[in-house]
Amino acid sequence: MMTAAAAAIAPALDARVIVDRANFRLDVSFTVAPGEVVALLGPNGAGKTTTLRAVAGLVHLSDGHVRLAGKTVDDPAHRVWTPIEHRNVGLVFQDYLLFPHLTALENVAFGPRSRGASRQRARELAATWLDRVALGHCAHQIPRQLSGGQAQRVALARALAVEPTLLLLDEPLAALDAGTRVNTRSELHRHLANHSGGTLLVTHDPLDALILADRLIVIEGGRIVQQGDAGTITAKPQTEYVARLVGLNLYRGEADGHTVGLDEGFKLTVSERCLGAVFVAFRPSAVALHRHAPEGSPRNAWEATVVGIQHHGDNLRVELGGPLHAAADVTPDAAVQLQLERGEQVWASVKAAEIRSYPVSEEALTP
Amino acid sequence: MTVAAAHEIKTGHSSPARKRRDLTVRRRTPLVTLLPALIGLAYLVLPLAGLVIRAPWATLPERLVAPEVLMALWLSVQTATIATIACLFLGVPLAWLLARSSFRGRQLVRALVTVPMVLPPVVGGVALLLVFGRRGIVGSWLDSAFRITLPFSTAAVVMAQVFVALPFLVIAVEGTLRGADTRYEEAASSLGASRWTTFRRVTLPLIAPGVAAGAVLSWARALGEFGATITFAGNFPGRTQTMPVAVYLALETDVDAAIVLSLVLLVVAVGILASLRERWLSSGATA
């Protein structure tokens, strides 16, 4: 969603990344608008990280271009090349790479100091950023003394402290354990929403991509196979991989105990108790379709319209319209029995136990 | 999670694997290897023990403070320290060049750097004399242009020491640089740091332990330098007569003096080993 005014501003990133390797060719082109979060999603070896490193200036392009806020920083055909230190990008590595000999504060102050701020000013800025990621009390600890989640937040603060045109995140949550991950993810979501520059996020975790990003770009074998928002990609996967990976119905809503009122106006019953703003998600395979209103156990049932049907693997993915835009996976046999056709009315149901919920912000965690 | 585990190993956080006791069944060492091993060990230890046993312990304190001994010791410490500083200034950039840049003939340069390690030091001394001597290629120019004469001066002692010690520093630092994660440097550049700032504030602190170890090794090598020194700098008490040179000369006149000087060098060597114990002796074992 770009307003006319925003469209007039140059994108934070406009890239055509072509990198030739011995038996691999990466060729992707995409843009990231200021304030937009774009996720590069794909299997290992798809070229996600190479794309990110090429945009950052850590990998040379074979061809193509990289423009940051309208300024060409890499264009091999015209012999334009700007080294990373002059690109104004912020980089968060998978394992954070906090400088082990510097305190959290010195790590965050490193960027402003390198970009010409006085020692005093850099430290003030760093303190402000550490407060923003709620780590003011850890300012004088060295990275070894920080937990994984804390280190991740310091790495984020360090990257954001230089107010980058483009923030680059390489698997920012991959090194965290499952528990820390939920918190850190919601925290990251909040910071990305406040970041005025563009954000390019590389991940192989569809949940990270769906929750954190405004737009997804799926890369396979060095090519973009699909891009769009989460709903579109889930409902209309273009490849087998996308269908398997991004197969997740995801909604935002307000939780009140076991009930979540979705932004779409629909209410879902969930098995986990939570409060406040949450994401709720369920797999298309968890959606059961019926000819008539189901009786008994599944408490979440609604009448839907079949908007589209697609083959993927042995199954069919059914795109449903109605009160809830959702995707459902059914076997071909079931499809025949249900006489599924575009425009048909069906009943859809999901068991409460099949629905996972994730708090949008920290506050939502308190039960 | 494997990524988390890898991260943990890299950052050296508590790894349970290390604490686990090694339960591997150890097989007995065969006699055929045990015997030569013990002879070899004795061969290394006995001469040193002999040195300690034969030392004139009664007169040791006064011998230690004899002016010739103190003078040689002071000169050795001074020149070895200056040589080490020179090695740091020349060697760290050279190590950087070998570890981080790729240019044609890098392998050749690396081989050239290590030549002084295997070259008999006396040959190094002759070579230095031929280049920096009064009739040498560089020496004759220095002599005519600046009236500087290098051979048989304290400066020559330092030059001889740098010649033999520099490779030790370069090799130690290069190894550390190769082992260091270059992505820290990428992180620093992404934050806007110039290459010099990155080197000064990130790379150097990261490789500091390797640089320190290299410096200690160089210092030890410089302190023990004999062949190149006596060839290029000669033997003038107080000016070019370092400890090893003094030992050699004392052996002809006063054996006890030679023993005392040797004992001092032995103590220094053991001290150096102790300081490097963590890094060099416990290879693979827990630090």
Exposed/middle/buried for residue B38 (C-beta within 10 Å: 0-12, 13-18, 19+): exposed
CA distance B50 to chain A (A): 46
Which of A121, A130, A123 lies closest to A106, judged by CA?
A123
Q: Look at chain B and report how many structural domains it folds into.
A: 1
Q: In B, residues 12-41, which contact A (CB 8 Å cutoff)?
A: 12-13
Average pLDDT of every residue of chain A: 86
Task: Say whether B192 and A115 touch across the interface (CB within 8 A).
Answer: yes
**Domain spans in chain A, listed from the N-terminal domain onward:** 4-245, 249-365
When pLDDT is averaged across residues B230-253 and rounded to a whole number, the result is 88
Task: Say whether A91 and B190 touch across the interface (CB within 8 A).
Answer: yes
Residue B267: inside a domain: yes
Instruction: Name the strands in the sheet holding A300-312, side by side, starting at the edge strand that comes first in the sequence.
Output: A288-290, A345-350, A300-312, A315-321, A326-330
CA distance A95 to chain B (A): 6
Question: Token match 């820390």: residue?
Answer: A180
**Beta pairing, strands A37-41 & A215-220:** parallel
Contact status, residue A15 vs residue A87, Cβ threshold 8 Å: no
Instruction: Name the strands in the sheet holding A356-359, side by side, starting at the edge strand that comes first in the sequence.
Output: A249-262, A267-282, A356-359
Residue B51: inside a domain: no
pLDDT digits (tens, 9 = 90+) for A29-61: 999 999 999 999 988 888 999 999 999 999 999
Contact status, residue A219 vs residue A48, Cβ threshold 8 Å: yes
pLDDT level of residue B281 (50, 70, 90 thresholds): very low
What CATH number does residue B217 fall under? 1.10.3720.10
Residue B121, pLDDT score: 92
pLDDT level of residue A251 (50, 70, 90 thresholds): confident
Domain ranges, residue B197: 68-119+153-281
pLDDT level of residue A164 (50, 70, 90 thresholds): very high
Q: Which two tokens stand for residue A310?
A: 């697609």
Checking if the pLDDT of B17 tops 60, the result is: no
pLDDT level of residue A361 (50, 70, 90 thresholds): low
Checking if the pLDDT of B25 tops 50, the result is: yes
> In terms of DSSP H, where are the helices of B199-254?
204-224, 227-232, 243-253
The complex scores an ipTM of 0.77
Residues A155 and A236: their CA atoms lie apart, in Å, by: 36
CA distance B16 to chain A (A): 17
pLDDT digits (tens, 9 = 90+) for B154-168: 999 999 999 999 999
pLDDT level of residue B251 (50, 70, 90 thresholds): confident
CA distance A365 to chain B (A): 24
Residues B8 and A175: their CA atoms lie apart, in Å, by: 9
pLDDT level of residue A217 (50, 70, 90 thresholds): very high
Number of alpha carbons in the 13 Å side-chain half-sphere of residue A140: 0
Contacts of A152 in chain B (CB under 8 A): none
- B209 contacts chain A (CB < 8 A): no
Contacts of A115 in chain B (CB under 8 A): 191-192
Rg over CA atoms, chain B: 23
Residue B23: inside a domain: no
Checking if the pLDDT of B12 tops 50, the result is: no
Size of chain B, expressed as the number of residues it contains: 287
Q: How many CB pairs lie under 8 A apart between chains A and B?
A: 83
Task: Say whether B188 and A110 touch across the interface (CB within 8 A).
Answer: yes
Q: Which two tokens stand for residue A250?
A: 């995801």
Task: Say whether B184 and A99 touch across the interface (CB within 8 A).
Answer: yes
* Kind and range of the H or E run holding B149: none
Residues A158 and A152: their CA atoms lie apart, in Å, by: 10
Residue B21: inside a domain: no
Homologous superfamily assigned to A4-245: P-loop containing nucleotide triphosphate hydrolases (3.40.50.300)
pLDDT digits (tens, 9 = 90+) for B268-277: 888 888 877 7
Identify which of B7, B197, B206 has the shortest CB distance to residue A175: B7
Residue B10, pLDDT score: 41
Residue A298, pLDDT score: 56
pTM of structure = 0.76
| Beta-sheet strands, E only, within chain A | 13-21, 24-32, 37-41, 63-68, 71-75, 80-81, 89-92, 166-170, 198-203, 215-220, 223-228, 249-262, 267-282, 288-290, 300-312, 315-321, 326-330, 345-350, 356-359
Domain A249-365, what fold? OB fold (Dihydrolipoamide Acetyltransferase, E2P) (2.40.50)
Residue B132: inside a domain: no
Closest residue in A to B204 (Cα–Cα): A101
Checking if the pLDDT of B1 tops 50, the result is: no
CA distances from residue A361 to A186, A191, A252 in whole angstroms, order as listed: 5, 10, 12
Residue B57: inside a domain: no
Residues B22 and B17: their CA atoms lie apart, in Å, by: 10
C-beta atoms surrounding B156 within 10 Å? 26
* Kind and range of the H or E run holding A296: none
Residue A8, pLDDT score: 58
- B186 contacts chain A (CB < 8 A): yes
Identify which of A90, A99, A175 has the shortest CB distance to residue B190: A90
Residue B38: inside a domain: no
> In terms of DSSP H, where are the helices of chain A?
4-8, 48-56, 104-114, 119-132, 148-160, 178-194, 206-212, 230-235, 240-245, 332-338
% pLDDT > 70, chain B: 89
Residue A30, pLDDT score: 94
Task: Say whether B190 and A174 touch across the interface (CB within 8 A).
Answer: no
| DSSP-derived secondary structure letter, B58 | G
When pLDDT is averaged across residues A323-348 and rounded to a whole number, the result is 86
Substitution target in A52, A59, A84, A184 with the highest count of B β-carbons within 10 Å is A84
| First CA to last CA distance, chain B | 26
